[in-house]
Amino acid sequence: KRNVIVAPSLLAANFLQLDREIEMINNSEAGWLHLDVMDGRFVPNISFGLPVISQVSKIVKNKVCDVHLMILEPEKYAEAFRDAGAHSLTVHAEACPHLHRNIQQIKDLGMKAGVALNPHTPLNVLENVINDLDLVLIMSVNPGFGGQKFIPHTLTKIRQLRKMIDDAGSSALIEIDGGVTVANAGEIVAAGTDVLVAGNTVFSAADPKAVISQLKKAGS
C-alpha cells in the first residue's frame, strides 16, 4: 500500500477560468499541481511560462508547484522559475549534457530536483545521479501534448526504476506523466509509482474532484 500523490496537470485546464480551476485543485485531495512548460524546440509544442506560473502559484494553497520543463538549456531559467513559485523543478535528461551540474543548481536554488526521461531513454542515464534526486519523472507518452495514450512498456520501466531507487537507498519519488486514467492508475501504482500526473483525466471529467479522489485511492 502506497501513499499516492495526485498531480493534476494544468495544461488540460480551461485557461479562461484559471482562478476557478485552481480553486477546485485547492479544495481537492491533489497534493501537487503539475505545470508543463514547453519551448517549441525540445518538444513540438509551446505551452505557457513564467508569467502564468508566477500568478498561478500565488493562489495555489498547500500544494507543491511541480514544474516540468520541456525546454532546452533549462539552466538559464531555473532561478526565474524558483522566483515564480516553483517548489520542484524537473529537467529532461535528453536536454542536459551537464545533468549533474543542473541538478546541483536546482538544489542550490532551494528547490526539489527532478529528472524526466522520454519513453525511449533508458534508466541507466540516472545511475550516477540517483542519490542526488528528489524525483524521477517517467514519461509514459512522448512529451509535447496532453490527451495521449499510455505506452504499456512504461510499467516495466517503473518496476526497474523502483528497484534501482530502493537498491541505491535513494529517496527519489517516482512520477508518471502521460495517459494516466482511473482505469490504469491501479497497475501504475502497483508497479511502484508515488506521483500520478493527470491532465485530461481530471479536467475533462464532469466531477474533477471526485476523479482526483479516485486516483488517490489507486494505492489502496
Catalytic residue list: 36, 177
The answer to whether 64 and 175 are in contact (CB under 8 A) is no
Cell of 209: 474532484
Q: In the range 28-87, which residues lie near Zn ion by CB under 5 A?
A: 36, 68
- Pairing type for strands 112-117 and 32-38 reads unpaired
Q: Please count the other Cβ atoms lying within 10 Å of the Cβ belonging to residue 60.
A: 21
Q: Which does 63 bind (CB under 5 to 8 A by kind): Zn ion, ligand DX5, none?
A: none
CA 61, distance to chain mean position in Å, is 18
**Integer angstrom CA distances of residue 139 from 38, 104, 105, 149, 208:** 14, 22, 23, 11, 23
Residue 26's binding partner among ligand DX5, Zn ion, none (Cβ under 5 to 8 angstroms by kind) is none
Binding mask 33-72 for ligand DX5 (x = CB under 6 A): -x-x-------------------------------x----
- 153, 157, 158, 161: CA torsion to nearest 10: 180
How far is 41 from 62, CA to CA, in rounded Å? 33
Under the criterion CB under 6 A, does residue 198 sit at the interface with ligand DX5?
yes
92 appears as a binding residue in the annotation:
no
Minimal distance, residue 169 CB to ligand DX5, in Å: 28
Per-residue mark of binding to ligand DX5, 127-166 (x: CB under 6 A): --------------x-xxxxxx------------------
49 binds, among Zn ion, ligand DX5, none (CB under 5 to 8 A by kind): none
* DSSP letter assigned to residue 166: H
CB 176 within 8 A of CB 193: yes
Give one word for 148, left, alpha or beta, with left for phi > 0 and alpha for psi -120 to 50.
Answer: beta
User: In this complex, which beta carbon is closest to ligand DX5, that of residue 128 or of residue 204?
Assistant: 204
144 is in an annotated binding site: yes
- Mark the binding-site residues for a divalent metal cation, compressed into ranges: 34, 36, 68, 177
Binding interface with ligand DX5 (CB under 6 A): 9, 11-12, 34, 36, 68, 141, 143-148, 177-180, 197-201
- Mark the binding-site residues, compressed into ranges: 9, 34, 36, 68, 144-147, 177-179
Binding interface with Zn ion (CB under 5 A): 36, 68, 177
- Mark the binding-site residues for substrate, compressed into ranges: 9, 68, 144-147, 177-179
